[in-house]
Structure 1
Amino acid sequence: MVQSIDLGGFQGGGSHPHFLIAGPCVIESEQLVLDTAFQIADIAKQVGFPCIFKSSYDKANRSSIHSFRGIGIAEGLSILKKVKEKVQIPVLTDVHSVGEATMAGEVVDILQIPAFLCRQTDLLIAAAKTGRVVNVKKGQFLSPWDMKNVVHKLEESGTKKIVLTERGASFGYNNLVVDMRSLPVMRGLGYPVVFDATHSVQLPGGSGTKSSGQREFIAPLARAAAAAGCDGFFMEVHPNPDAAMSDGPNMVPLHQLKELLQQLHQICQVAGKAENNIF
């Protein structure tokens, strides 16, 4: 049975409604973040999805050393705090080190462990000890059943506030595929499972010095994940993805978000959660 978890003001997992994690890949400016957060929150409320705002103060795994990484942790956390206060929704951000986990844990509701760092024991321990919810993205190099070891590290470190996210698996060079079986498999570990619809269509390093992506496959994969019985959806959303400073090719244009969420909501109503699906 999947645990129900407080995600910063609403319950996720268990029999609770599906939820949304959404926002620009990286914090580009305070104004962009606040404007986008207000619009995402309004759209999610209209459709019926409890919402968490996501954006990163630093993208530490960019392909090129010359790529824009973000505005830094101090300014980034200050902006995320304003989102919490002004938009009145919970916030999530990536952390990359023990020190970052401690600092971010004082501000955000959910700490996200990037896929490439999902096996870093010290980082998992530090995130667990903050008392915040910890969302771990399954590494592109891991099977879904291998995430049991990640879960055990977090549990042994004192937390059961855990969310697991599927974001695709490496398939040859510069390509990812999604095995929808991973959603019920990871849900079997007892915690809510999220489908990352935007990183799953990424083409890592596909443009040489940066990643590319296939935005046209976001909606089909998200619909499939809804039918497979996930608990939530992760989507990077931007008002103008083609001008975004990170991950533009695999972000959802803000003006298309409502229609996609409406489709997912309808499928979720029929499919339910993984343990209730009939095979």
Structure 2
Amino acid sequence: MNTVKIGNFEMGAGNPLVLMAGPCVLEDYERCLFIGRTIRDITSRLGIPYIFKASFDKANRSSFHGFRGPGLEKGLEMLANIKKELGVPVVTDIHTELQPEPVSKVVDVLQIPAFLCRQTDLLNAAAKTGAVVNVKKGQFMAPKDMRNVVDKILEGGNSNIILTERGASFGYNNLVVDMRSFPIMRSFGYPVVFDATHSVQLPGGSGTSSGGNRELAEYLARAAVGAGVDGLFMEVHDNPEEALCDGPNSIYLDKLEDILKDCLSIYNIVRKKLY
């Protein structure tokens, strides 16, 4: 398996389990900083490499009036300051072919949202920056179809690739996670991440917003680690009821450490068998 270098650590091929976590979208700066600092301190105690995540724009909200974030210019300024304050790498979403270049100057990982994972021009623009590209598997995609996504990024001259599972559409307003997707996508030779919180989302399930079952996220996270993922992606908030996006599927900040301890114990068993 190819490893991916992010900041001062390597991901994949038996390296430590990585966590991408933070609020869904950039909210108040001090709140984002508090959440990120708390997660950094937790992961530092546990020996888990940490990447702060938050979106400067959530372009696929259920409603036109849903909170989208501070936008590109202000969002990148916030992410740059958070990165400096916390001393950790940062990941954020991109949505158009014009965004990869300016965003890659600030963040360490460019994330392709699930709905855009087949957008050739976007993938190519992200690849050409040379940054690490994390692609979320579309809810409409079979795991084997992500091989084509990998090939598109490789055509752009970039092998710094991560693939993320976030569930597949299962009827209306529901998702299901096929655990077979992890070994299938890992067979392509790149690190695989499990998005534990979007996988328990109920897309559009609350009418003008998405619902979610955050209480199920820890179960799926443990199962995914047992299936051999290289990292976890989690939306975490100190008070999900106040979150401006994806609160119903966000994990409570004060519950995170216990969840990670369980996942780390499982990971330390599984990687001995895989490597």
Unaligned stretches of 5+ residues in structure 2 = none
Q: How many aligned residue pairs are there?
A: 275
**Counterpart position of 1:200:** 199
SS of the counterpart of 1:195?
A: strand
Letter in 2 for 1:109: D
| Counterparts of 1:81 and 1:33, CA distance in 2 | 12
Q: Deviations over 1:191-239 (max 9, x none)?
A: 0000000000000000001000001100100000011010000000011
| Counterparts of 1:137 and 1:147, CA distance in 2 | 9
**Counterpart position of 2:49:** 50
Letter in 2 for 1:11: E
Counterpart contact for 1:12–1:19, Cα < 8 Å: yes
| Counterparts of 1:104 and 1:267, CA distance in 2 | 35
| Counterparts of 1:129 and 1:136, CA distance in 2 | 15
Tell me the TM-score normalised to structure 1 length.
0.97
User: What is the CA distance between 1:102 and its match in structure 2?
Assistant: 1.5
Quickly say closer, same or farther: Cα 1:177–1:124, change in 2 above 3 A.
Answer: same
Unaligned stretches of 5+ residues in structure 1 = none
Counterpart contact for 1:231–1:273, Cα < 8 Å: no
Does 164-173 or 9-18 show the bigger shift? 9-18
**Counterpart position of 2:262:** 263
| Counterparts of 2:149 and 2:216, CA distance in 1 | 29
**Counterpart position of 2:133:** 134
Letter in 2 for 1:267: I
User: What is the CA distance between 1:9 and its match in structure 2?
Assistant: 1.8
Equivalences for residues 54-133 of structure 1 within 5 A: 54-133=53-132
SS of the counterpart of 2:164?
A: strand
User: What is the CA distance between 1:273 and its match in structure 2?
Assistant: 7.1
Q: Tell me how large the CA RMSD over aligned residues is.
A: 0.9
**Counterpart position of 2:39:** 40
Structure 1 runs (4+) greater than 3 angstroms displaced: 273-276
SS of the counterpart of 2:178?
A: coil
Tell me the TM-score normalised to structure 2 length.
0.98
User: What is the CA distance between 1:272 and its match in structure 2?
Assistant: 1.6
User: What is the CA distance between 1:99 and its match in structure 2?
Assistant: 1.0
Counterpart contact for 1:92–1:111, Cα < 8 Å: yes
| Counterparts of 1:131 and 1:273, CA distance in 2 | 31
